[in-house]
């Protein structure tokens, strides 16, 4: 029942924003055709009513502000939560917001295209979660030339032209990856210390192009290496070239006590992540494995269906650390299949993005905002500071 209500809210909110966006110059997203008559009624007050009370006196009329948000995709419920946050803020502030995103996170070109279309429509501001750090650079220059402020969220664009991105709101992904490493290392410390032969830690990343995923992956690798080195163990990183070369110290496989093996599938689908995970988990020296987002973590769980090696008992089972939430991961943590996971706060991130764009429109100076990643496992899933971030 709860799910149903949530779904209705999410979809109604989406349809509302889409309808609102129709009045803008940019092309509406495909699902706009879905618009149910019922949604129209909700949409109207969302646009107008709060506008009068919300807008601070001397500033631009909030009703005239129109922001475009480009997400990485709608593939996972993570993004659904972010969009929910965006819509909450839009309603509170009484601004028009339109969300759009490509079909899959690997559709980099589609996303750039959407972004460019939005820029041509000259909105009041753009919120962007870039699929690829560098593919958006030209578009960002365009936005800068057109005087459209951009706020990056979820993933930053570190090489963006000076002055184009006014604020980056993101989980400290590097830190979040490190959080996973800290927790996993703490659980495995004794097994690593007592190991007589080299041991292996796996890592599955769905791709090696976006900032959020690569930072998480590298954050995990570097932190794990650092902790292990502090205990006098030698660490080597093998597998995908991007991560091997990006690690602070890639080490030497021959003499290492701990091998961190990184795998990246050719496409971002669960079954390909599962193939990669199962190749790693099949090795007998694996102690732990980390999946750096929802898709990768679900891939690990899918691989475990057959291998049945995951658990919570260090030394006996392979300990799996995931990222983000979703029913499959939450269920696995409850069942003791997955050791734990790091969650972000997509809802807050989406909300902050719109609030920041609003501030910019009102002439306020803004700076980067880092949101935290939280570790959760079976013991604290229901804690008040964690539970709201564990979306389905």
Partner 1 sequence: MEKKKVPAKIFKQEVIVFLVVIALLIFFCVASPDFRKYTTILTIMDYSYYIVLMAIGVAFPLITGGVDLSIGTGLVCYSLAGGYLIMFKGWPTGLAMIVSILFGLAIGTLNGILIGVMDLPPFLGTLCTCMITRGLGSICSKNTGISWPTTGQPGSWFRSIFKYETAGGTKIPLGFLWVLLLAIIMHFVLNHTKIGRYTIAIGSNKEAAILSGINVKFYHIMAYTISGLFAALASIAYSAVFKTVLPGTGAGFELEAIGGAIIGGVSATGGAGSIIGTFIGVFVICLLKTGLPFIGLQANWQQIVTGLVLIGSVMVDIIKKKREAKK
Cβ proximity to partner 1, 186 vs 266, nearer residue: 266
Contact flag: residue 11 with partner 1 (CB under 8 A): yes
164 lies in the site for partner 1, by CB under 8 A: no
Q: Are strands 374-376 and 340-343 parallel, antiparallel or unpaired?
A: antiparallel
Interacting residue with partner 1 among 196, 255, 284, 379 (CB under 8 A):
284
Check the CA dihedral 45-50-52-53 and report its sign.
Answer: positive
Q: Which of 248, 267, 315, 316 binds partner 1 (CB under 8 A)?
A: 267
Adjacent-strand bridge partners of 199: 258
Closest CA to 51 of 151, 364, 353, 59: 59
- Report if residue 239 touches partner 1, rule: CB under 8 A: yes
* CA-wise closest residue to 205 among 337, 366, 323: 323
Least distance in angstroms from the C-beta of 200 to partner 1: 11
Strands 199-204 and 340-343 come out as unpaired
Q: Does position 10 bind partner 1 by CB under 8 A?
A: yes
295 lies in the site for partner 1, by CB under 8 A: yes
Among 137, 279, 381, 386, binds partner 1 (CB under 8 A): 279
Q: Which is closer to partner 1, CB of 62 or CB of 296? A: 296
> How many C-beta neighbours within 10 Å does residue 82 have?
31
Q: How far apart are the first and last CA of the chain?
A: 13
Instruction: Count other C-beta atoms under 10 Å from residue 124's C-beta.
Output: 18
Rounded alpha-carbon distances, angstroms, from residue 261 to 222, 242, 243, 264, 276? 13, 12, 10, 10, 11
Look at the alpha carbons of 347, 390, 387, 372 in this order and tell me if their dihedral is positive or negative: negative
- In angstroms, the CA 122 to CA 140 distance is 13
Given 17, 55, 62, 75, the residue binding partner 1 (CB under 8 A): 75
Least distance (Å) between residue 234 CB and partner 1: 21
Output the smallest distance, CB 359 to partner 1, in A.
29
Using rule CB under 8 A, residue 102 touches partner 1: yes
Integer angstrom CA distances of residue 71 from 74, 173, 361:
8, 17, 21
- When the beta carbons of 23 and 327 are compared against partner 1, the nearer one is 327
Q: Is 69 in the site for partner 1 (CB under 8 A)?
A: no
Report the residue number, 190 or 241, with the smaller CB distance to partner 1.
241
> Site mask, partner 1, residues 325-344, x = CB under 8 A?
-xxx--x---x---------
Q: Which residues bind partner 1 (CB under 8 A)?
A: 3-4, 7, 10-11, 14, 30-31, 33-34, 73-77, 80, 102-104, 107, 239-241, 263-272, 274-276, 278-279, 282-284, 294-295, 298, 302-303, 305-308, 326-328, 331, 335
């Amino acid at each position: 029942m709860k799910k149903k209500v949530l779904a209705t809210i999410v979809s109604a909110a989406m349809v509302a924003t889409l309808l609102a966006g129709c009045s803008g110059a940019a092309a509406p997203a495909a699902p706009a055709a879905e618009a149910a008559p019922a949604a129209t009624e909700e949409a109207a007050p969302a646009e107008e009513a709060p506008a009068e009370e919300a807008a601070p006196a001397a500033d631009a009329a909030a009703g005239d502000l129109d922001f475009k948000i480009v997400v990485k995709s709608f593939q996972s419920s993570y993004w659904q939560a972010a969009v929910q946050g965006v819509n909450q803020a839009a309603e509170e502030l009484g601004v028009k917001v339109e969300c759009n995103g490509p079909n899959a996170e690997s559709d980099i070109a589609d996303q750039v295209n959407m972004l460019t279309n939005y820029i041509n429509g000259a909105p009041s501001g753009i919120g962007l979660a870039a699929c690829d750090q560098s593919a958006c650079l030209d578009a960002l220059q365009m936005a800068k030339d057109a005087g459209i402020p951009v706020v990056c969220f979820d993933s930053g664009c570190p090489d963006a032209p000076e002055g184009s991105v006014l604020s980056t709101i993101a989980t400290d992904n590097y830190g979040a990856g490190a959080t996973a490493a800290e927790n996993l290392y703490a659980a495995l410390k004794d097994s690593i210390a007592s190991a007589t032969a080299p041991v292996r830690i796996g890592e599955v990343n769905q791709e090696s192009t976006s900032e959020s995923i690569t930072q998480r992956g590298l954050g995990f690798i570097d932190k794990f290496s650092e902790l292990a080195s502090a205990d006098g163990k030698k660490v080597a990183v093998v597998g995908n070239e991007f991560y091997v070369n990006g690690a602070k110290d890639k080490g030497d496989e021959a003499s290492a006590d701990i091998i961190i093996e990184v795998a990246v599938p050719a496409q971002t689908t669960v079954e390909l992540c599962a193939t990669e995970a199962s190749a790693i988990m099949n090795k007998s020296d694996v102690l732990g494995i980390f999946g750096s987002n929802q898709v990768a973590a679900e891939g690990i769980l899918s691989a475990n269906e057959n291998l049945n090696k995951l658990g919570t008992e260090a030394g006996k089972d392979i300990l799996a650390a995931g990222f983000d939430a979703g029913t499959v991961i939450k269920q696995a943590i409850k069942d003791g299949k997955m050791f734990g996971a790091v969650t972000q706060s997509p809802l807050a991130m989406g909300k902050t993005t719109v609030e920041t764009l609003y501030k910019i429109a009102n002439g306020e100076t803004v700076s980067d905002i880092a949101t935290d990643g939280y570790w959760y496992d079976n013991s604290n899933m229901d804690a008040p500071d964690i539970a709201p971030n564990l979306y389905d």
